[in-house]
Amino acid sequence: MSQPKSLNLPFDPIERAAETWRVHFGPSSAMAAVTSIMRAHQILLSQLDSLLKPYDLTFARYEALVLLTFSKSGALPLSKMGERLMVHPTSVTNTVDRLERSGLVARRPNPRDGRGVLAEITDKGREVVQLATADLMGAEFGMTMYGEAELSDMFSHLRTLRVAAGDFAPPPMRQDEDYGGLL
């Protein structure tokens, strides 16, 4: 897997920024965490896009193909794709345009809505998803430096942020769950 250009700095610039932040503004934990997440996003996106480049895909296009693969019929309305991928309708349109030009998706009228359009994965699209997924799984999505427990913890911590942002409603707590000493 192609790695982003290594910076090989003799210090952690985010840690250094956090120290300076504390002097000038006060507590820096949130700033350091956000900056670390943003840098991790850059690193992972670069790695994943490089793995997907042989298939003429970006990670966003790959996600759209996988979504269509997971749907019952292999087709979804563009509006539903935007909702599930959590992106703006314009982004979905651009993504589907690129996938259609590559022969991985075809647009067809929505039989339930005379005005609506469905994006439908093609046989070629299904084949590309299989090959690209094998490459991503082989590279563990660029997360080889973490163990299973760490990945699970990371998902859980980031899920809290997504719930707070309103991405989805958390499931109600069961009566037998520990409420963190609140009861």
Q: What is the pLDDT of residues 131-180, one digit of tens each?
A: 999 999 999 999 999 999 999 999 999 999 999 999 888 888 776 655 55
Cα(11)–Cα(126) distance, rounded to whole angstroms? 45
> In this structure, are 79 and 127 located in the same domain?
yes
Give the total residue count for the chain.
Answer: 183
Task: Tell me how far apart the alpha carbons of residues 70 and 114 are, in angstroms, rounded to a whole number.
Answer: 24
Distance (Å) of CA 173 to CA 159, 164, 169:
15, 16, 12
Domain identity same for 31 and 18: yes
**Each residue's pLDDT tens digit, 57-81:** 999 999 999 999 999 999 999 999 9
Q: Is there a domain that residue 99 lies in?
A: yes
- Kind and range of the H or E element at 74? none
Residue 37, pLDDT > 90, answer yes
Domain's final residue, options 133, 158, 175: 133
- The whole-number pLDDT of residue 116 equals 84
Q: Which residue has the higher pLDDT, 12 or 171?
A: 12
Quickly count: other Cβ atoms within 10 Å of residue 51's Cβ: 21
Phi then psi for residue 165, to 5 deg, are: -80, -10
* Order of strands across the sheet that contains 105-110: 75-77, 113-121, 105-110
Structural domain total, the chain: 2
Domain-embedded: residue 160: no
178 within a domain of the structure (yes/no): no
| Distance (Å, whole) CA 63 – CA 48 | 11
Which helix or strand (DSSP H or E) is residue 155 part of? helix 148-164
* 29 and 89 share one domain: no
What percentage of residues in the chain have a pLDDT greater than 70? 93
Distance CA 163, CA 170 (A): 7
172 lies in some domain: no
Residue 31: give the domain boundaries: 10-54
- Residue 83 shares a structural domain with residue 16: no
121, containing H or E segment = strand 113-121
Predicted structure pTM score? 0.83
CATH number of the structural domain spanning residue 96: 1.10.10.10
Q: Are residues 39 and 74 in the same domain?
A: no
The DSSP H or E segment spanning 117 is strand 113-121
CA dist 98 and 119 (Å) reads 12
Q: Do residues 31 and 85 both lie within one domain? A: no
